[in-house]
Every structure is written in C-alpha cells, then in structure tokens.
Amino acid sequence: MKHCDKCNVDIQTNQKYCPLCHQILSGEDDLTKKEIYPEFVPLNRTVLPLTKKIMLFITVITIITLVSVNYFTYNTTPTMWSLIPIGSTLYFWLVVRYGILSKQNIAFKLAFLTTLLLIILNLIDQNYTISPATPGWALNYVTPLSLLACNFAISVIIWVKRINYREYLIYLLSILVFSLIPIILGLFKVITVLWPSIAAFGAAMFILLVIIFFFPKSIKNEIRKRFHL
C-alpha cells in the first residue's frame, strides 16, 4: 500500500507516481500484489542528440578561438584575459546542457549551476579583481547570497508546484551545509563581511525547521531512507 501526500489517499499500486496527480508516492512496493493500474509514463520532452553535439561544437570552437587570440596578442596585452570569457562560455554550455536539455529535476539543476557559478566567480575574484578596495566580493557577498537565492528558489518551487518536499530534502540539507561554510570562514577571518553569510544560514535553517516542525515523522523516515540508517 502506498500513500500520496498531495491527494491524501492510500493506493494499492507498485507504481512510483500517483495516478491522480502524478506526484511521487511514499511507501514500499509489494511484489506479491497484482498491478491494477497501467504504468504511468512521464511526458518528457525528447532532445535530439544532434542538438547537444552542435552546442558542444560551438563551445569548443569558441574556446579555441579565445585561446588563439589571447596567445597571438599576449605580447601587447600580457594577461590571460581569455580565461574570463572561457569560463563564461563553459558556464553557458553547462546551463544549456544541464539546465535546459537535462531531464534531471529542477532542484538538482539549481544546486549544480549555482555551485558552478560560485566556483567561476570566486576564481575571477581571486585572480582578476583589479581594484584593491574590492577584493573578496565573491566570498563576502556573492557566495552566501547565491546560496540564499538557491534555497529560496527551491522552496518556492516546492510550494507553488505542490511538489513532494521529500524529493528535494537532500538539496535543502546540502544548501544548509554549504551555507555554514562562509560562517566558518568568517571565524577564521577569511570572510570580512558576515551579515550575508548569517542571513543565508539563518534562512536555510528556518526553512528546514519549518519542514521538520510540520512533518517530523516524514522527515525522520526520509533521513533513514536516504542515509540507510
């Protein structure tokens, strides 16, 4: 017997999705039970492999062009300026590849692309910040506020689309852990502006506590299942 949290009904099925609302069902499969519902097949948009190959080809050609121009102009401009547009090009390709063409759920896309963007921006901050008055802007402001925005976006998606929050719990926990890192760096004086980090961690903790308060049993069962406790 499985249960749909959205419809609040018990369903005698071994299917993964609710036949009424198509949300993920909770509960274990009963292999001895004869299936009475047809299998639900999600309507995923098919993407031609040629589209991915074209995007990859354009990305590779762009990177080769940037490196070549940087190499032949290095005598007049002795800097590796091409790394910045190369990083932007790679990020654009990954946004298309994993954000648009990927069939992964939207929380994975947000978490993955946010992490990638933070890595690129921190590398730019550490190596290409020209003004001595603004070093550390990526760690002090962009990193914690991006984590805050990602956490808020996932929460809004769960609320607006009425998605089963258990499917996104692991991402909320991951963002909570990542939000703690800037605070730890602040204790070691690596980060000099603490309020964005405190705001990001506080928001992540608040969202998690709301879920735990209203769904304590479900959270306990989900953590046991996820971490095989």
187-220: pLDDT as tens digits: 888 888 888 888 888 888 888 788 777 766 666 6
Residues 134 and 229 in one domain: yes
Residue 201 or 222, more confident: 201
Task: Classify residue 68: in a domain, yes or no.
Answer: no
Question: CA 19 to CA 48: how far, in whole Å?
Answer: 29
Q: Could you tell me which of 173, 90, 189, 91 has the C-alpha nearest to residue 139?
A: 189
Q: What pLDDT, on a 0 to 100 scale, did the predictor assign at position 216?
A: 67
Q: What pLDDT, on a 0 to 100 scale, did the predictor assign at position 75?
A: 87
- Tell whether pTM > 0.85: no
Q: Could you tell me which of 12, 5, 7, 16 has the C-alpha nearest to residue 32?
A: 12
Residue 135 or 15, more confident: 15
Task: Classify residue 101: in a domain, yes or no.
Answer: no
Query: What is the rounded average pLDDT of the residues 105-123?
Result: 79
Q: Tell me: pLDDT of 43 over 60.
A: no
Task: Classify residue 74: in a domain, yes or no.
Answer: no
Q: What pLDDT, on a 0 to 100 scale, did the predictor assign at position 67?
A: 92
Q: What pLDDT, on a 0 to 100 scale, did the predictor assign at position 78?
A: 82
Q: Tell me: pLDDT of 7 over 80.
A: yes
For the chain, the domain total comes to 2
Task: Classify residue 24: in a domain, yes or no.
Answer: yes
Question: CA 89 to CA 188: how far, in whole Å?
Answer: 34
| CA-to-CA separations, 113 to 68, 79, 145, 205, in angstroms, rounded | 28, 28, 14, 22
Task: Classify residue 2: in a domain, yes or no.
Answer: yes
124-175: pLDDT as tens digits: 787 766 555 556 788 888 888 888 887 777 777 767 666 666 666 777 777 7
Residue 11 pLDDT grade (very low, low, confident, very high; cuts 50, 70, 90): confident
Q: Which domain holds residue 189?
A: 130-229
Task: Classify residue 202: in a domain, yes or no.
Answer: yes
DSSP assigned state of 101: S
61-110: pLDDT as tens digits: 999 999 999 899 988 878 777 877 887 788 788 777 776 666 667 777 77
Task: Classify residue 75: in a domain, yes or no.
Answer: no
Between β-strands 9-11 and 2-4, what pairing exists: parallel, antiparallel or unpaired?
antiparallel
Task: Classify residue 91: in a domain, yes or no.
Answer: no
**Element spanning 24, H or E:** none
